[in-house]
């Protein structure tokens, strides 16, 4: 039907032409990109949709009337395709539908003008009615962008057991709360009913603002200790500070100046009280704990704080005054570089706290990854907590040999062996230290690894705390070429009546092992994998998978898992993905471009898990960042890197000195700088340890403080961002978490995963919260160290305590 009144105003005609050109250009781009995707064996959708959008644009620009019909048919098919490919996952559907829905809304708004210009009846009411429906759908999708989308399978039975005088927590005396290292506070003064009333009780400024533009410099990752009426902190550069638990007023500080500026952090401290009675182990055949004897002439340090510095020095401080302990090593210090040979600068350092194992201080050491074949060794050592004398050293490169102290040979330890850079756990009942072990010096090239490297790399190792003798070792990855270290402190639990330990890995696996034997207590299956053609590389073609526990963020990606904020970057992610060699978990690096998912950051990292023993429920935070990897041939003696792990945080090309390759790695991101796989990019997951099933999974963090193209996004969309640090769970039915990319401390209902409180901090955090009750006032506090979130430009020096308001 035609309309005698076919004229439209000049501005309306110009609008239609401009809009038509925009549609045509967008359609042409989609069609070209779609053709590129098809050339790599990808979906035909983008080519077909691009052609439809192109035709729509041409029709609009030339004054035709069929453009809206073509687009409507294509959009309807898009909706069907989206649900077919993505199911009912909100973010996956959003990426496929939202942009085209907005375009459909605009098209319906101008369709009366287009019809009128074409000499047709404008049908204003029907078209505007459809536009209104589209607008409602747009509003619904926008609303959904600000809602958390997760998994809710069941409600955990948490917060149902009241705290008693017998079970109430007195101190947060070790890195993970107590000897179980479960990051659990047996406190319920703050609970799910009143947490909404939490407010800042006090704020302390350490005076040290970390500086780390790419993650390779100073980072505040501290988990404080609380003993009695004192909080003990360490800054990234190893200043130790004591403050009052109720006021935050400084009691004392002790600085350990350093010139090191690469990979500088202090995650925690150790504490020992010589006046407390020694509890001997109860497990059969356990060795006895040696007595703690104050050195002759020493008058201080019955209670002592122990720290290993970034410069590889073990120090002991009086917990009451901050003075160096007399009789400990040399003037309160022990040089941990003894016996390591050349260990200058950041090649050998310590970032995680020592573990106090009875009366033995046990330390590992971080050996910088992917620098050179010849590096310091990863020896694990035990020192007398009172004198600092070395009791034993376990050399993983000398057939697991245990060397008794003292140290005399300056090159005693095997070079370039697997190391323990993450926190360790001590089981007092068996006098055993459990050690999460990393890899030998080069992660991605293993041609020259020794049998001992192959045995201990990426494993959990159990040593006798008194003698250093090996009890057992269990390997989680064979011949690791992915930097899949065991990255976290294990947590001690009772698993169906068996004393067990549990931990997560960068590969997204959760393991449950028998403490006595190291054997898995849940199902483990074998995954067949492929090599990658590096000459002489002895690939492990079978890998263990902890199939009896949930896999966290470790699914095998497909093209349909690719995501983007717009159809264009989603298309490009599909194109990039189809260009990589990818065979799922354990895709080996080669001279081509391969994809590793999870990447070497995880999966799960050093923050550890938290565990509520009253409900047998575990909480795990993770990050979901893939990495592409390319091995580039080079001269074996190419200059080494500086030891920073910015290759894992800022990325770039790194020469692997002594090997025939350098490595290039980068995050698997869209052209907009957003992870290519669909959200969440970081989550908090509750696991029922009775059934080994997921109770719930919720996204962690928003993009509010995420910087994109030099500007903060400012939108509190809970998409779930990569996390670092760990969680705190309490008997009050709460899980607290702060180490997101936005600047919030959050509390979740531990039964349901619902966020029920959050507090805006001046900067973000990479730390783990703790909770304690003041012995003076009886008030429960939540405490967090906030020095700046990873990938954030804002840094600070804040330690913030939260509490309920005083009752009137």
pLDDT in tens, 473-509: 999 999 999 999 999 999 999 999 999 999 999 999 9
pLDDT in tens, 324-375: 999 999 999 999 998 888 766 678 999 999 999 999 999 999 998 888 899 9
DSSP type of residue 725: S
Q: Which residue has the higher pLDDT, 700 or 440?
A: 700
**Is 483 among the residues known to form the active site?**
yes
Mark 316-353 as b/e (b = at least 16 C-beta within 10 Å): bbbbbebebbbbbbeebbbebbbbbbebeebbbbbbbb
Does residue 561 sit in helix, strand or coil?
helix
Q: Which is catalytic among the residues 369, 483, 688, 749?
A: 483
**CA separation for the pair 571, 633 (Å, rounded):** 31
Query: Residue range 721-743: average pLDDT?
Result: 96
Does residue 337 sit in helix, strand or coil?
coil
pTM for the structure as a whole: 0.95
Give the pLDDT band (50/70/90) at residue 651. Answer: very low
Instruction: Find where tokens 């600092």 sit.
Output: 388
Residue by residue, DSSP assigns 412-467 as: -SPTT-----S--EEETTTTEEEEE----S-SS--TT--HHHHHHTTEEEEEETTT
**CA separation for the pair 612, 617 (Å, rounded):** 5
Phi-psi region of 339 (alpha: psi -120 to 50; beta: other; left: phi over 0): left
Query: Residue range 164-183: average pLDDT?
Result: 96
**CA separation for the pair 381, 337 (Å, rounded):** 11
CA 63 to mean position of chain CA atoms: 54
Q: Rounded to 5 degrees, what angle do the CA atoms 444, 446, 449 make?
A: 140
Is the distance from CB of 681 to CB of 717 less than 8 angstroms? no
**Per-residue model confidence (pLDDT) at position 636:** 78
Say what percent of the chain tops pLDDT 90: 83
**Per-residue model confidence (pLDDT) at position 216:** 78
Instruction: Find where tokens 């796989």 sit.
Output: 677
**Per-residue model confidence (pLDDT) at position 341:** 84
Q: How much is the mean pLDDT over the chain? A: 93
Does residue 780 sit in helix, strand or coil?
strand
**CA separation for the pair 426, 403 (Å, rounded):** 20
Instruction: Find where tokens 């390591």 sit.
Output: 340
**CA separation for the pair 567, 48 (Å, rounded):** 13
**Per-residue model confidence (pLDDT) at position 644:** 63
**Per-residue model confidence (pLDDT) at position 707:** 85
**Prior bond of 598 cis (ω within 30°):** yes
Q: Is the CA virtual torsion 319, 324, 325, 328 positive or negative?
A: positive
**CA separation for the pair 315, 92 (Å, rounded):** 52
pLDDT in tens, 610-647: 999 999 999 999 999 999 999 999 887 777 666 666 55
Query: Residue range 699-716: average pLDDT?
Result: 90
| Phi and psi at residue 436, to the nearest 5° | -80, 120
What contacts 320, CB < 8 A, 6 or more positions away? 303
Give the pLDDT band (50/70/90) at residue 654. Answer: confident
What contacts 414, CB < 8 A, 6 or more positions away? 377, 379, 395, 396, 397, 398, 452
Q: Provide the H-helix boundaries in 606-680.
A: none
Contacts of 141-148 with C-beta under 8 Å, sequence gap 24+, read: 141/94, 141/97, 141/98, 141/101, 144/90, 144/94, 145/94, 145/715, 145/717, 146/715, 146/716, 146/717, 146/718, 147/718, 148/698, 148/699, 148/718, 148/755
**CA separation for the pair 56, 65 (Å, rounded):** 9
């Amino acid at each position: 039907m035609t309309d005698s009144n076919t004229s439209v105003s000049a501005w309306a005609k110009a609008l239609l032409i401009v809009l038509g050109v925009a549609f045509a250009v967008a359609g042409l781009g989609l069609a070209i990109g779609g053709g590129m995707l098809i050339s790599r064996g990808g979906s035909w959708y983008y080519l077909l949709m691009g052609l439809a959008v192109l035709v729509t644009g041409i029709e609009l620009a030339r004054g035709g009337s069929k453009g809206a019909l073509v687009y409507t048919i294509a959009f309807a098919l898009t909706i069907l395709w989206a649900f077919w490919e993505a199911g009912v996952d909100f973010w996956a559907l959003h990426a496929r539908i939202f942009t085209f829905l907005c375009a459909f809304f605009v098209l319906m708004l101008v369709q009366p003008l287009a019809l009128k210009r074409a000499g047709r009846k404008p049908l204003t009411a029907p078209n505007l009615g459809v536009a209104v429906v589209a607008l409602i759908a747009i509003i619904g999708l926008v609303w959904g962008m600000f809602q958390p989308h997760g998994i809710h399978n069941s409600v955990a039975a948490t917060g149902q057991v009241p705290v008693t005088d017998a079970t109430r927590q007195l101190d947060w005396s070790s890195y993970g709360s107590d000897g179980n290292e479960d990051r659990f506070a047996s406190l319920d003064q703050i609970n799910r009913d009143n947490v909404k009333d939490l407010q800042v009780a006090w704020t302390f400024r350490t005076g040290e603002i970390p500086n780390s533009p790419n993650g390779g410099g100073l980072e505040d990752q501290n988990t404080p200790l609380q003993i009695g009426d004192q909080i003990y902190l360490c800054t990234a550069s190893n200043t130790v500070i004591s403050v009052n638990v109720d006021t935050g007023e400084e009691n004392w500080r002790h600085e350990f100046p350093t010139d090191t500026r690469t990979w500088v952090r202090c995650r925690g401290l150790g504490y020992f009280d010589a006046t407390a009675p020694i509890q001997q182990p109860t497990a059969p055949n356990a060795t006895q704990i040696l007595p703690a004897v104050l050195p002759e002439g020493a008058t201080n340090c019955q209670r002592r704080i122990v720290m290993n510095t970034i410069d590889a020095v073990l120090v002991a401080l009086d917990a009451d005054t901050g003075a160096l302990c007399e009789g400990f090593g040399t003037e309160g210090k022990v040089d941990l570089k003894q016996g390591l040979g050349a260990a200058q600068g950041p090649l050998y350092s310590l970032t995680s706290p020592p573990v106090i194992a009875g009366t033995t201080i046990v330390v590992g050491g971080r050996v910088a990854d992917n620098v050179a074949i010849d590096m310091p060794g990863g020896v694990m050592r035990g020192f007398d907590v009172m004198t600092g004398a070395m009791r034993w050293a376990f050399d993983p490169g000398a057939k697991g040999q245990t060397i008794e102290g003292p140290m005399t040979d300056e090159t005693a330890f095997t070079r370039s062996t697997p190391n323990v850079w993450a926190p360790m756990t001590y089981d007092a009942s068996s006098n055993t230290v459990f050690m999460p072990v990393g890899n030998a010096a080069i992660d991605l090239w293993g041609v020259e690894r020794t049998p001992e490297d192959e045995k201990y790399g990426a494993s959990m190792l159990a040593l006798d705390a008194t003698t250093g003798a090996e009890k057992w070792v269990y390997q989680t990855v064979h011949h690791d070429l992915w930097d899949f270290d065991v990255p976290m402190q294990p947590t001690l639990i009772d698993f169906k009546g068996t004393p067990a330990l549990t931990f997560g890995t960068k590969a997204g696996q959760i393991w449950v092992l028998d403490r006595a034997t190291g054997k898995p207590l849940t199902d483990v299956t074998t995954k067949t994998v492929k090599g990658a053609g590096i000459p002489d590389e002895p690939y492990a073609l079978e890998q263990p998978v902890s199939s009896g526990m949930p896999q966290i963020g470790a699914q095998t990606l497909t093209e349909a898992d690719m995501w983007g904020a717009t159809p264009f970057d989603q298309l490009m992610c599909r194109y990039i993905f189809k260009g990589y060699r990818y065979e799922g978990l354990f895709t080996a690096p080669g001279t081509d471009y391969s994809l590793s998912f999870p990447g070497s950051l995880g999966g799960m990292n050093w923050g550890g898990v938290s565990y509520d023993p009253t409900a047998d429920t575990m909480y795990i935070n993770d990050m979901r960042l893939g990495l592409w990897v390319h091995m580039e041939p080079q001269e074996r003696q190419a200059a080494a890197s500086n030891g920073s792990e910015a290759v894992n945080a800022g990325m770039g090309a790194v020469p692997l000195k002594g090997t025939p390759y350098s490595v290039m790695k980068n995050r698997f991101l869209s052209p907009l700088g957003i992870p290519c796989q669909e959200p969440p990019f970081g989550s908090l997951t509750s696991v029922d340890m009775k059934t080994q099933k997921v109770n719930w999974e919720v996204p962690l963090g928003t993009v509010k403080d995420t910087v994109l193209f030099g500007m903060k996004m400012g939108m509190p969309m809970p998409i779930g961002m990569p996390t670092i640090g760990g969680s705190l769970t309490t008997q009050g039915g709460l899980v607290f978490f702060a180490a997101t990319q936005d600047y919030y401390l959050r509390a979740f209902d531990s039964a349901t995963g619902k966020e029920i409180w959050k507090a805006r901090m001046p900067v973000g955090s990479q730390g783990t919260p703790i909770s304690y009750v003041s012995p003076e006032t009886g008030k429960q506090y939540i405490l967090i160290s906030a020095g700046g979130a990873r990938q954030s430009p804002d840094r600070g020096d804040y330690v913030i305590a939260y509490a309920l308001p005083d009752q009137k």
